[in-house]
Chains A and B, each alone.
Chain A
Amino acid sequence: MVHGEAWTLKEFFTYPNEYIYWTIQIVMYPFMTGLVAGAFVLSSLYHVFGVTQLKGIARFSLVFSFALLPVAMLPLMLHLQQPQRGIEVMMTPHFTSAIAAFGIVFSTYGMIVASELWFVYRKHFVENALKLREIDDRNLSEHLWHLLYTVLSLGTTDISHEALEADERAVKKLAAAGIPVACFLHGYAGFIFGSVKANALWMTPLMPVIFICSAVVSGIALCILTYIITMEIRKFLAQRRHREHPELPSPDELKSAELHVVTMTTKYLVMFLVAAITLELLDLIFRGYTAMKSWDILRSVIYERDFVNIFVIQYGLGNLLPFIIFLTPGLTIRRALAGTSLVLLGVFMMRWNVVIGGQAFSSSLSGFMHYVLPVWPDSMETYKEGLMGALTVAIVPFCLFYLLNKVMPVFKDTH
């Protein structure tokens, strides 16, 4: 069977070779990079711009951004027909292609985040390495931990006051350098689509900007969401422990701290949401107003075939409803939870409507293609490019976050 045939339904005239070649993994890819970029921007707001209200969530979002990082690559690897050759993007990059920048930008960004994390957690690494070094009869797990922390401290044990101040300066610089790189990482994901002149829906110079704005929106939303969930777990644990150790923060203290952070962060979320929606609507209005050759078929895709996806789910549930939720006074945790989930849904649907919607019509402009999402995989291909593959991609960052949190505890004050 031809690649793409399993999930493509064709209607009216499409070129014989046309199928939905870019499927749910290519929806996941900008969604995940968007989360990476957004989470990083959120943490930088504190580190660079000194938005102290975000202190509570800054380190959390930095670690989470790092956990998301490898996952931004995963959908691409699942999508490639020859994943074992993926490294060629680094070997023989062809920079006239937007994808060729991926290897370079992605690794640059990865290194910046890793370095920043190193500076943030250096004290923790060194302390642990020294602590474990003092134990004479280390058991296996202690031995491994010691090894890990020693490697992570990169051979330096200087945690004097001056050294830690140098760390903070480095964090600030790296966070500042990271913002443009994070935006570039995601903006170029938009460029990948926006520069395809063969595709009438994708081709617009606004695409990278739209992608960046919605990336920040989704990144912040996911950080809030995950933050709330982890705080709830901590509250639950604190409730049990507080009785035995009264010196630990009480659930009520945690709760007020949580609500404070969430309220502050949603303000930024709403700001970026406004920017994202403005740009998307501008794009839509402009297309309708200029009504180029492709508008006929675009209109029937946007207003008829994908109406529910675009106007009901993306704009209605994903944008308008969260707006109301966030702007109604007296934000509660539960409402924030609902709002951020809806925002994430909205951004995901925006990616879906761009990637799948862009292939919903033939480049002959005379026919339509319909993507039938493979739910239960019956082959490797339908696994990779179906619901299960997408879920795999969605779950991995949380597993990574769990592991990273073991090495770099997010909620422990280190400095």
Chain B
Amino acid sequence: MISRRDFCKKSLLVAGGLTIPLSALELFNPARLEAEKTDGKKLRWVFLVDTHKCVGCGFCVKACKTENEVPYDANVTRTWIERYVITKDGKTHIDSPKGGRDGFEDSRIDVGEGTFEEIKNEEINKAFFVPKLCNQCDNPPCVQVCPVGATYQTKDGVVLVDRSWCIGCGYCVMGCPYGVRFFHPVHHVAEKCNFCYHRISQGMQTACVDACPFGARRIGNIRDPNDPVTKVIMTERVNVLKEEYGTTPQVFYLGLTKEVK
């Protein structure tokens, strides 16, 4: 008769013994290792933003909204510009009126619900603009949480939304740490920046890149070592947003500082 203690011991041993070969299979799968190294693909879209160059003109936002048919006056946008003003008292003032669609033609900071904060020029320590768009993360949390497979990542790294399949639960909107997603006011499904997939797929650049007069926005292929964007990302000190979420974002920033949210 097997005692209870023996039974527990043995079953643990058997269970443990079974998992070791299984996990080894997972650890040393050469095909998978190879796939993770290169992905075996020649194309992975990435974005490069130079915050030194951005002047907050908002032509990118304007072009994006028109190009991608996001209602122009709706208070949502696929891409936007944030203004950061850091004053001598160490405070950070941030705003993005209408997502920066009409540029920044007011030196006051919009603090919401129709109130503005005046900041004197001599108080400013540093001030700059940061364009934002979808990071087309390598581990997109928005895709992970979609309950029906209505959003997905293409093999070239762009996260798309299937407008005919989205149920509009909003889980992806909540799952994105960057606040990139919203509900399309006309189609009533999740909406997001897709690097102008229709343009980049035919050799064009995104509407925002074409609209930017200062070269603050660039799109490139990280798998192509000769791509000028890849060269900058590989050789210069670039940073990404909110890396701590483990999303592996693929929009790289030059001149990012700790104040940027």
Contacts and interface: CB of A to CB of B under 8 A. Distances in A.
A21 B112 contact: no
A88 B148 contact: yes
A99 B171 contact: yes
Interface string A94-124: 1011111010000000000000000000000
Interface residues of A, number: 51
B46 interface: no
Contacts of B74: 1-2
Contact of B169 (A11, A80, A199, A362): A80
Contacts of A4: 183
Contact of B76 (A11, A16, A76, A92): A16
B168 interface: yes
B111 interface: yes
A114 B94 CA distance: 55
B180 interface: yes
A366 B95 CA distance: 10
Nearest to A3: B183
B82 to A, nearest CB: 8
B94 A366 contact: yes
Interface in B157-200: 165-171, 173-183, 185, 188-189
Given A14-B112, A81-B168, A82-B168, A94 B174 contact: no
A85 B149 CA distance: 12
B75 interface: yes
Interface string A134-152: 0000000000000000000
Contact of B183 (A2, A93, A100): A2
Contact of B94 (A82, A92, A363, A364): A364
Interface in A312-326: none
Contacts of A86: 167
Interface stretch (B18-26, B139-147, B203-211, B229-237): B139-147
Contacts of B94: 12-13, 364, 366-367
Nearest to B110: A13
A81 B183 contact: yes
B169 A79 contact: yes
Output the residue of B80, B113, B148, B170 with the most chain A CB within 10 A.
B148
Interface string B226-250: 0000000000000000001110000
Interface string A337-370: 0000000000000000000000000111111000
A361 B182 CA distance: 16
Nearest to A82: B168
Contacts of A364: 94, 179, 261
Contact of A3 (B92, B113, B185, B244): B185
A276 B250 CA distance: 41
B167 A15 contact: no
Contact of A94 (B148, B168, B177, B188): B148
A9 B115 CA distance: 12
A373 interface: no
Contacts of B98: 16
A395 interface: no
A72 to B, nearest CB: 15
Chain A interface, DSSP helix/strand/loop, else mixed: loop
A7 to B, nearest CB: 14
Contacts of A2: 74-76, 182-183, 185
A94 B149 contact: yes
A17 interface: yes
Given A22-B170, A97-B171, A198 B141 contact: yes
B111 A16 contact: no
A82 B176 CA distance: 20
B111 A12 contact: yes
Contact of B167 (A18, A89, A98, A362): A89
Interface string B69-108: 0000011110010100000000010111011000000000
Nearest to B61: A16
B179 A15 contact: yes
Given A14-B112, A82-B189, A89-B147, A197 B177 contact: yes
Contact of B165 (A9, A17, A88, A196): A88
A158 interface: no
Contact of B179 (A1, A88, A94, A363): A363
B89 to A, nearest CB: 16
A21 B148 contact: no
Interface of B: 74-77, 80, 82, 92, 94-96, 98-99, 111-113, 132, 141, 144-150, 165-171, 173-183, 185, 188-189, 244-246, 261
Interface of A: 1-5, 9-19, 21-22, 76, 79-83, 85-86, 88-89, 91-94, 96-100, 102, 192, 195-199, 293, 362-367
Please list the 6 inter-chain residue pairs (A to B) with the smallest Cβ-Cβ separation, ordered nearest first.
Answer: A81-B168, A15-B179, A364-B261, A99-B147, A198-B177, A13-B94
11 contacts: A3-B185, A14-B112, A14-B179, A21-B173, A22-B174, A80-B168, A92-B148, A96-B144, A97-B147, A197-B177, A363-B177
